[in-house]
């Protein structure tokens, strides 16, 4: 058994006791920092700059993430084929897991949970039965590497098809590890194979998923109604990890957001590299986490666009003081906006002109 097998029940125990926070969004953050390319979105950074990935794991845990998710997202066989580097598949996967594991060990006193990850393959086609086998092989190889690395549980995420999520779940279940399976809900009312999201999660629960829910694509305001529907449909734990962007009823996903106010968009939409003006502030993300928790969704986090400040605000919303809380805002000592008695009057009097 992997060394962390004791902790394999850790996720479910922690969920029984309250929220579990999972920072995601590695692809977006590392693209922004210049370590991988928007478009193909392949996490080559885990081979080229492992120290950068390790540090981002560290920053998220320091900000309050209970989970380190190994950065294998979009590091699967199809993505590597797309960039002509299929030979890097196994080293990339193993490196990502090793990096995540080594950072988890640094926090020995309060070790975060270590999660493996599988995701949408972009190969699965409901009209082509042969892709079941192809996709299952892709999931199985990744799950096997994650199990070997001693992960505590496995996340299957951003599935737009129920059928593909079901294959992912089956693969995770064969490993014996807890399964967190989340859908990426696009603009249509249902998933791409026509299954309603609440029905899809209900069926996944029946097939043995431990946590079901939604991540990515939708911001807080357009994800919350899904969370409520899913909560009604299942009795297992529910996951809610929105993107931190101000999506709304007319443009419910971050891919569909429009920004007529900018003259400088590189294409017909701000997604994915010009979403900055839509970014939710930390307080909005904390408010979402609270609302989701009030619905009894306990597996909470932030997906593409997440920064450590979002994660810290969510942790603090639940009364926690992660290491980064040492530097949580205290405006009382601001030179003009502050209230400290020793501040200079001429600056404080200038406050309305700032």
Query: Would you tell me which residues interact with Zn ion (CB under 5 A)?
Result: 216, 303-304
| Residue with smaller CB distance to Zn ion, 29 or 101 | 29
| Residue with smaller CB distance to Zn ion, 10 or 270 | 270
Q: How far apart, in whole angstroms, are the C-alpha atoms of residue 74 and residue 80?
A: 8
- 50's tokens: 């492992």
Q: How far apart, in whole angstroms, are the C-alpha atoms of residue 184 and residue 161?
A: 9
| Residue with smaller CB distance to Zn ion, 147 or 159 | 159
Q: How far apart, in whole angstroms, are the C-alpha atoms of residue 317 and residue 314?
A: 5
Min dist CB 199 to Zn ion, Å, is 23
| Residue with smaller CB distance to Zn ion, 74 or 124 | 74
> Which positions ≥6 away from 334 have C-beta within 8 Å?
none
Q: How far apart, in whole angstroms, are the C-alpha atoms of residue 227 and residue 144?
A: 31
Min dist CB 52 to Zn ion, Å, is 19
H or E, element range at 114: strand 113-119
Q: Collapse the DSSP code of 67 into the 3-class scheme (helix H, G, I; strand E, B; otherwise coil) and give the result.
A: strand
Q: What is the dihedral of CA 239, 243, 244, 249, to 10 degrees?
A: -100
Residue closest to 327 by CA, chosen among 6, 63, 85 = 63
Min dist CB 216 to Zn ion, Å, is 3
Q: How far apart, in whole angstroms, are the C-alpha atoms of residue 186 and residue 189?
A: 8
| Residue with smaller CB distance to Zn ion, 280 or 303 | 303
Min dist CB 157 to Zn ion, Å, is 8
| Residue with smaller CB distance to Zn ion, 167 or 304 | 304
Min dist CB 186 to Zn ion, Å, is 12
- 258's tokens: 């429009």
Q: How far apart, in whole angstroms, are the C-alpha atoms of residue 215 and residue 222?
A: 12
Min dist CB 304 to Zn ion, Å, is 3
The string of DSSP letters for 250-278 reads TB-BTTT---TT-S--SSSS-TTTS-GGG
Min dist CB 263 to Zn ion, Å, is 27
Q: CB 71: neighbour CB atoms within 10 A? A: 28
Phi-psi region of 217 (alpha: psi -120 to 50; beta: other; left: phi over 0): left
| Residue with smaller CB distance to Zn ion, 157 or 317 | 157
Structure letter (DSSP) for residue 109: G
Min dist CB 78 to Zn ion, Å, is 18
| Residue with smaller CB distance to Zn ion, 184 or 230 | 184
């Amino acid at each position: 058994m992997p060394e962390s097998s004791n902790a394999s029940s850790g996720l479910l125990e922690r969920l029984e006791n309250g929220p579990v926070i999972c920072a995601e969004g590695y692809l977006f953050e590392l693209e922004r920092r210049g370590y991988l390319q928007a478009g193909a979105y392949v996490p080559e950074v885990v081979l080229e700059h492992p120290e950068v990935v390790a540090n981002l794991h560290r920053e998220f845990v320091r900000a309050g993430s209970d989970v380190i998710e190994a950065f294998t997202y979009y590091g699967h066989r199809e993505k590597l084929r797309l960039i002509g580097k299929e030979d890097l598949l196994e080293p990339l996967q193993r490196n990502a897991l090793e990096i995540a594991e080594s950072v988890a060990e640094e926090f020995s006193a309060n070790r975060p949970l270590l999660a493996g990850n599988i995701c949408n393959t972009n190969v699965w086609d409901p009209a082509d039965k042969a892709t079941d086998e192809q996709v299952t092989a892709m999931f199985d190889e990744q799950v096997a590497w994650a199990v070997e690395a001693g992960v505590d549980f496995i996340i299957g995420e951003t599935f737009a098809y129920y059928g593909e999520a079901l294959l992912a779940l089956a693969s995770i279940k064969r490993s014996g590890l807890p399964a967190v399976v989340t859908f990426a809900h696009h603009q249509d009312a249902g998933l791409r194979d026509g299954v309603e999201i609440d029905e899809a999660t209900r069926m996944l629960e029946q097939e043995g998923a431990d946590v079901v829910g939604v991540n990515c694509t939708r911001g807080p305001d357009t994800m919350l109604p899904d969370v409520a529907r899913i909560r009604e449909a299942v009795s297992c734990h529910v996951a809610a990890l929105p993107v931190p962007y101000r999506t709304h009823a007319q443009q419910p996903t971050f891919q569909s957001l429009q920004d007529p106010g900018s003259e400088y968009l590189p294409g017909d939409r701000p997604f994915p590299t010009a979403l900055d003006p839509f970014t939710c502030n930390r307080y909005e993300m904390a408010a979402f986490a609270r609302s989701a928790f009030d619905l009894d969704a306990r597996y909470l986090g932030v997906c593409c666009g997440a920064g450590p400040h979002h994660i810290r605000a969510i942790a603090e919303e639940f009364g926690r003081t992660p290491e980064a809380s040492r530097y949580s805002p205290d405006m009382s000592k601001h030179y003009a906006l502050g209230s400290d008695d020793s501040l200079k009057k001429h600056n404080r009097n200038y406050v309305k002109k700032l």
